Amino acid sequence: MNTHERSSFSKEHKNNIRAALKRFSNTRIEQKIVVELKRRGVKFEQNVGVSSIKNVDFYLPKQNVVIECNSCFYHACLEHGHPAYHQYARTDDAADTRVLEKHGYNVFRFWEHEINASVEKRVNQIENETRN
């Protein structure tokens, strides 16, 4: 068990750091999502607080979908992430997803490498899984 991940930082301090890193690292993958959603004429809001729960990367009002883009490094994807981030990043992400789902949102969390491989596939997945 790696004990590295539980630092002495407060939760708030950690969240501030992560928010700043996220803003810095996510711009490029978020831009790919923006282009694809616009191409399909899907209505969306970006960096928006949903029901004052938290700030999410994208919200699609018609589908009630939340999209979160996880940078491989800072959200600690198993292939490309930094081992020191693995435990707490993944735990925090899972907790966020549960809160959002509890409030009725359809949550899609994509890795940077998934978006880079095919943003089209990711948006197809959203459309397929939210089709009534």
With CB under 5 A as the rule, give the number of residues binding Zn ion.
Answer: 6
Handedness of CA 120, 117, 29, 78 (dihedral sign): positive
Using CB under 5 A as the binding rule, whether residue 89 contacts Zn ion is answered as no
Using CB under 5 A as the binding rule, whether residue 76 contacts Zn ion is answered as no
CA pair distance 124, 132, nearest whole angstrom: 14
- With contacts defined by CB under 5 A, name the span among 7-15, 17-25, 87-95, 112-120 that binds Zn ion: 112-120
Interface pick for Zn ion out of 18, 82, 109, 113 (rule CB under 5 A): 113
- Residue tagged 């949903």 (tokens): 50
- With contacts defined by CB under 5 A, name the span among 7-15, 40-48, 87-95, 103-111 that binds Zn ion: 103-111
CA–CA distances in Å: residue 104 to residues 33, 40, 63, 97? 22, 24, 11, 11
Binding site for Zn ion (CB under 5 A): 72, 77, 79-80, 111, 113
